[in-house]
Amino acid sequence: MRSKKSSLLNLDILFNGMTIMCGGFGGVGSPPTIIDWILDSGVTNLTLISNDAGFPWIGPGKLVTEKRISKLIASHIGSNPEAGKQMHSGELEVQFFPQGTLAEKIRAGGMGLGGILVDVGLGTSVEEGKEKTIVNGKEYMIEPALTADLAIIACKKADPYGNLIYDQSARNTNPLIAAAGDITIAETVELVETGSLNPEEIITQGVFIDHVIESKGVDWKWVWELKREG
Amino acid sequence: MGMGAETRRLIAERAAKEVTYGMMVNLGIGIPTLVADFIPSSLDVMLHTENGILGMGGSPEPGKEDGNLSNAGGYPVTINTGASFFNSAEAFGMVRRGHLDLTILGALEVNGRGDIANWIVPGKRVPGMGGAIDLAQKAKKVIVLMSHTTKEGKPKILKECSLPLTVKEGAHMIITERAVMRIDSGELFLIEVMPGFSVEDVINSTEAELNVELVGRRTS
């Protein structure tokens, strides 16, 4: 079977101004090794699509803290004060979507659809500037699909073809984002042999994955760990 | 909020009384999170989290935390028997499809018709709406838990919200340290007064028009 096992050292795919979609929810399920690789590459002026801005030292939040992001598409930035600061100073453009709408826009991109029809946020500022349509007598906003130059995700187990399974609540946006990248890199905790994953239990099919790399592990401390340490 | 731990727990305990057998429930961050402590396990409630758990349990014992098993606020949790994990699209698909029986959330302002504002203070605090709009618009029942007034003593239950809305006419119930209020057909009803407060206290600290219709136990 075709193997997508890669080393980040051999990938020359990053460029200034590119759009990167990053899996994870509050940094849980974000790919630490790929994020550090992007930081080390020096690329900047990025558009980041992510459920949230992580924390200043966690997940995609690191890219915000290091001012590599010029535009952020997310549902929430409250856990990353650095993102709020940059938004208010005008350094960072932020586009908010309701969390479920953002997930579906990404899913639509990954599933080859043009967009979705959604009524969440009608009657609020969410509907401002949105194209609307009526289907079966109900009003919906037309929300275009989202894709990205690069999608980066984290998983628990991967086989060389890129079939993936996830770990508990670290799944979150990863399977959606996996399918929405023009190029997708999956960072796995464990690289297993072809045939060792149960086909019934594979969550992301390898066809969506371009590169599989092995994780060096989470290199940040969670908020609850820091609190516990005082 | 400026409310003491005891007051916060009192509000959470009252909110838990709205939970009935077999419900699927989503609890927001802050006082709503405390509600879980007051839901008896005999009710077989399935707690839902935006980050992809149905059947969330309580906090793990110290030392047993797992970084990949957390609630939407990023804190470690456990799961109950029968729990499942899913992606973020599915997490909100079950909400939009109408399976969420109850969501309990915090608010900055509400009005007498049930409009809720809880995600943005323009120019000051712009955290983003997260899943609040999806939840408040699509849950079958929406309960707002909050302090009755601002730190400066100004009403938060208003004739009209001044902040951008999370949902229009979404709230069914408001529970504060002073009162329990029900919203029905665009009207606000005072149904219970909390210990230490009088009906007059509640009316005087509420800007929205309040119909007094006390029912059941009066806890003061």
Instruction: Kindly list the distances between the CA atom of residue A131 and the CA atoms of A95, A116, A139, B138, B166, in Å, as whole numbers in the listed order.
Output: 16, 11, 11, 21, 20
Give pLDDT tens digits for B180-195. 999 999 999 999 999 9
Looking at beta carbons, which residues of chain A come within 8 Å of B165? 123-125
Q: How confident is the model at residue B220 (pLDDT cuts 50, 70, 90)?
A: very low
Cβ of B88 within 8 Å of Cβ of A173? The answer is: yes
Cβ of A96 within 8 Å of Cβ of B129? The answer is: yes
Give pLDDT tens digits for B96-106. 999 999 999 99
Cβ of A124 within 8 Å of Cβ of B133? The answer is: yes
Q: What pLDDT is recorded for position B79?
A: 98
Task: Name B3's Cβ contacts closer than 8 Å, sequence gap at least 6.
Answer: B11, B31, B147, B177
Q: Is B205 on the interface with A (CB under 8 A)?
A: no
- pLDDT over 70 (residue B217): no
Mean pLDDT in residue range B87-93? 98
How is residue B149 annotated by DSSP? Answer: B
Q: Is A168 on the interface with B (CB under 8 A)?
A: yes
Q: Is B88 on the interface with A (CB under 8 A)?
A: yes
Q: Is B155 on the interface with A (CB under 8 A)?
A: no
Q: What pLDDT is recorded for position B74?
A: 93
Give pLDDT tens digits for A151-161. 999 999 999 99
Q: What whole-number distance in Å separates Cα of residue B87 and Cα of residue A205? A: 15
- pLDDT over 60 (residue A36): yes
Give the closest-approach CA distance of A133 to chain B in angstroms.
18
Ramachandran bin of A14, using left for φ above 0, alpha for ψ from -120 to 50, beta for the remaining angles: beta
Instruction: Kindly list the distances between the CA atom of residue B139 and the CA atoms of A95, A161, B75, B189, in Å, as whole numbers in the listed order.
Output: 25, 40, 24, 21
Q: What are phi and psi of A20, to 5 degrees?
A: -120, 130
- Write down the catalytic residue from B6, B18, B50, B169: B50
pLDDT higher at A40 or B30:
A40
Q: What pLDDT is recorded for position B1?
A: 46
Percent helix, strand and coil across chain A, each rounded to 5? 30, 30, 40
Do the Cβ atoms of A140 and A134 come closer than 8 Å? yes
Q: How confident is the model at residue B3 (pLDDT cuts 50, 70, 90)?
A: confident
> Global pTM?
0.97
Buried b (16+ CB within 10 A) or exposed e, A7-25: ebeebeebeeebbbbbbbb
Give the closest-approach CA distance of A66 to chain B in angstroms.
20
- B50 catalytic per annotation: yes
Give pLDDT tens digits for A118-160. 999 999 999 999 999 999 999 999 999 999 999 999 999 999 9
- The candidate with the shortest Cα–Cα distance to B166, out of B98, B123, B95, B111, is B111
Q: Dump strand ranges (E) for A75-147.
A: 93-96, 115-118, 132-135, 138-144
Q: How confident is the model at residue A230 (pLDDT cuts 50, 70, 90)?
A: confident
Q: How confident is the model at residue B2 (pLDDT cuts 50, 70, 90)?
A: low
Interface of A with B in 2-21 (CB under 8 A): none
ipTM score: 0.97
List domains and CATH numbers for chain A. 8-113+146-229 (3.40.1080.10)
Looking at beta carbons, which residues of chain B come within 8 Å of A25? 50-52, 72, 88
Give pLDDT tens digits for B41-66. 999 999 999 999 999 999 999 999 99
Give the closest-approach CA distance of B100 to chain A in angstroms.
14
> Check: CATH 3.40.1080.10 for B5-153+161-174?
yes
Looking at beta carbons, which residues of chain B come within 8 Å of A174? 87
